Structure 1
Amino acid sequence: MIKAYAAHEPGGELKPFEYDPGALGALDVEINVEYCGICHSDLSMLNNEWGITQYPFIPGHEVVGTIGAIGDSVTTVKVGQRVGLGWYARSCMNCEWCMSGDHNLCLTAEGTIVGRPGGFADKVRAHHKWVFPLPEQVNPEVVGPLFCGGITVFNPIVQFDIQPTDRVGVIGIGGLGHMALGFLRAWGCDVTAFSTSPDKEAEARQLGANHFINSRDPEALKAVENTFDLIISTINADLDWNIYIAALRPKGRLHLVGVTPSPLSVGIFPLILGQKSLSGSPTGSPVTITKMLDFAARHNVEPITETFPFEQVNEAMEKLRNGKPRYRLVLKH
């Protein structure tokens, strides 16, 4: 039996819960969970904001632990090896997207907490191709959030062939944004942080920003028109997106990884005139996740975290619910 924390209704309290996972699949592995990050997606799923949650619901998709058991056909990892698991736990491995290396775009990919029991538990299972050995240089206590939030902001750097000479803006200095600043600075880019909180400027610069803009200052926003090769929005809020499109250079891109509450409303003429792009992306493929881990280890990029024991999971979720983490929360056995 696997011991976990589960909610039985939308927004419900997470309570001790046990389930029988059945026989281990030939291509699956079982992870003994040591740490598990808490992502805002866990809260969205807990509340059934996306209408896809199944109850009892076990959150947790930023898992770090050791391999406890492997299926008969698994050769990529060994029992006792420390690994990580992120948003996806499985993909078909046969479609054009999986075969071309874009497993995260597989139309039948399974989220670790979508119709499956997640990592707020003592054990969790996944397909071996979605389980990643940790480089020795990374700290297992804090690396968990890289497997969702981290790869979400790292993936666009690789997908869009961002150059060290590029000027890149990051909207929002929170759970995702603070990791984006670290990756982009280490990548060599000229990095600007956009935030509605002027008191975050000093910390944003420490995290990797070369420049800081108060996004409530119209004059500051006007001054950076035609400046950026890429702007990444990490926030879950509605903004005047036309302002940020105006801030792009010709062929620049406004890329969203935060889920806005409302459909976007943008002027098409500026996009056409400047050959600018508006896009979004999910997390990342197994190859890109491996690149991210190697890059993070080489450049000492890691999230800033607060740790709670698993027994205080509801207190940790409440801290996330009230928007007070600095900047990611991690549960520890």
Structure 2
Amino acid sequence: MKIHAMAALSRGADLTPWIMECSPLGPFDCLVKVESCGLCYSDVHMIDNDWRSSRYPLVPGHEVIGAIADCGPQVTRFKPGDRVGIGWQQSACLACRDCLRGNENLCSQSGALIADGYGGFADHLVIDSRFCFSLPRELDMERAGPLLCGGITVYAALRYAGMTSGQNIGVIGLGGLGHLAIQFAARLGNRVTSFTTSGSKEADALSLGAAEVVLMKEGRPTTRPSEPLDLIIVTVPYSFAWDKLLGLLATDGTLTFAATPAENVSINVDRLLSHRRRIMASPTAGRAMIEETLSLAARHRILPVIQPFPLNQVNEAIRQLRANRIRYRAVIRL
């Protein structure tokens, strides 16, 4: 069987049609017929080899929605026709300390779908079924893809930073990650303050569930939130006046990063000592947390706001993403 894909043949190149032979299914593998796939800025980083882990031809796409077409002999969780989602991770050792604690995403032997395999900008892909996830029937299949990366990234970051309910939570940035963080925090019973550099996004933030919006200028909030914040999540890769943000946290408050700032973070430790605050970061999520994310998204109707593009316009979608013109996630239809 031949798989038809769109691939970058060299660093920074536009995607062009590329055909590859489908590898034989291993015992735990599934063949998935792709229906749609989200476009994430991590795909752009991989196309450009920003992380020095790309290999070409590179087939991007790690927010995959599709249907099982075939299964290896040891696959018991799925059958042909089942709707599934696939995210960033495609493998782990499943035996180390992190894996056994449900932190497969932190495994030192983990493999990434588009770094160690081929992604979802293709009519089919092969994936280890143990990193394939059933999609609740309540989820809109076209819009669900970005939950498999953007959604799990912000939900995991919020949960590991201590989010429960009844808290005051700040979300820095209103983009592909931020608009999902607002929804998860608000729908789970928290009061959300959205921080954005764009006044034109205020109505969007409120419609997504934010209780108030604070405008940022030159990396600083122009006003203080009405209440101290228990948790602040950073969802954009920019630098801010970190001491100012730490000063918005309540006692025992946490500043957590779901995106990497452009410059190293410099802080005054007194800001932490004075109210026992902390700083942390969180990457993607393990399998149990992904299942939890999808279940909650279905139950509380949490879905990305998307701009759909047909596969033959994938390069236009990438150009718009590079230019920061997507509100808020691009999805490629196969």
TM-score, scaled relative to structure 2: 0.96
- For 1:323 and 1:311, locate their aligned partners in 2 and report how far apart those are by CA, in whole Å: 20
* Residue 88 (1) aligns with residue 106 (2): no
Separation in 2, partners of 1:85, 1:63: 5
Letter in 2 for 1:253: T
Q: Once the 2 structures are TM-superposed, how far is the Cα of residue 226 of structure 1 from its aligned partner?
A: 7.5
Matched letter for residue 152 of structure 2: I
Q: What is residue 312 of structure 1 aligned with on the other side?
A: 313
Say if 2:170 and 2:192, in contact at 8 Å, map to a contact too.
yes
AA aligned opposite 2:74: S
Alignment of 1:19-168 (within 5 A): 19-168=20-169
Name the structure 1 match of 2:11: 10
- Percent identity over paired residues: 37
Deviations 1:105-150 (A, max 9, x none): 1111111111211111011122112101110100000000000001
After TM superposition, give the deviation of residue 230 of structure 1 in Å: 0.5
Does 240-249 or 139-148 show the bigger shift?
240-249
Matched residue SS, 1:113: helix
Aligned to 2:214: 213
Q: Which runs of 5+ in 2 are unaligned?
A: none
| Structure 1 residues 246 and 225: CA distance shift in structure 2, 3 A | farther
Contact 1:225 1:248 in 2 (8 A): no
Give the Cα–Cα distance (whole angstroms) in 1 for the partners of residues 279 and 162 of structure 2: 16
Which residue number corresponds to residue 286 of structure 1?
287
Distance in 2 (CA, whole Å) between partners of 1:220 and 1:119 is 39
CA distance in 1, matches of 2:95, 2:216: 45
User: Given that residues 226 and 250 in structure 1 are in contact (C-alpha distance below 8 angstroms), is that contact kept between their aligned partners in structure 2?
Assistant: no
Cα distance in 2 between the residues matched to 1:154 and 1:125: 27
Aligned length: 333
Cα separation, 2, equivalents of 1:213 and 1:122: 43
Contact 1:221 1:243 in 2 (8 A): no
Whole-Å separation in 2 of the counterparts to 1:197 and 1:127: 41
Taking only aligned residues, the RMSD between alpha carbons, in angstroms, comes to 1.6
Could you report, residue by residue, the CA deviation over 1:74-126 in whole angstroms, capped at 9, with x for unpaired residues? 11111110000001111111111111111111111111111211111011122
Q: TM-score, normalised by structure 1?
A: 0.97
SS in 2 for 1:212: strand
Q: What is the letter of the counterpart of residue 150 of structure 1?
A: G
The alignment partner of 1:51 has SS state of: coil
* Corresponding residue for residue 277 of structure 1: 278
Q: 1:246 to 1:221 in 2, by over 3 A?
A: farther
Q: Give the Cα–Cα distance (whole angstroms) in 2 for the partners of residues 103 and 130 of structure 1.
A: 10
- Match in the other structure for 1:265: 266
Counterpart Cα distance in 2 of 1:86 and 1:235: 20
Letter paired with 2:254: R
Conserved in 2, the CA contact under 8 Å of 1:117 and 1:124? Answer: yes
1:233-272 maps to which residues of 2 (within 5 A)? 233-272=234-273
What secondary structure, in the 3-state scheme, does the structure 1 residue paired with 2:186 have? Answer: helix
**Structure 2 counterpart of 1:72, one-letter code:** P
Q: Secondary structure at the residue paired with 1:250?
A: strand
* Per-residue deviation, 1:269: 1.8
Aligned-residue offset at 1:33? 0.3
Give the AA of the match of 2:104: H
Q: Does the 8 Å CA contact 1:4/1:17 hold for their aligned counterparts?
A: yes
SS of residue matched to 2:115: coil
Q: Structure 1's 135 and 225: CA in aligned 2 closer, same or farther, altered over 3 A?
A: closer
Instruction: List alignment gaps of at least 5 residues for structure 1.
Output: none
Aligned-pair CA distance for 1:73 = 0.7
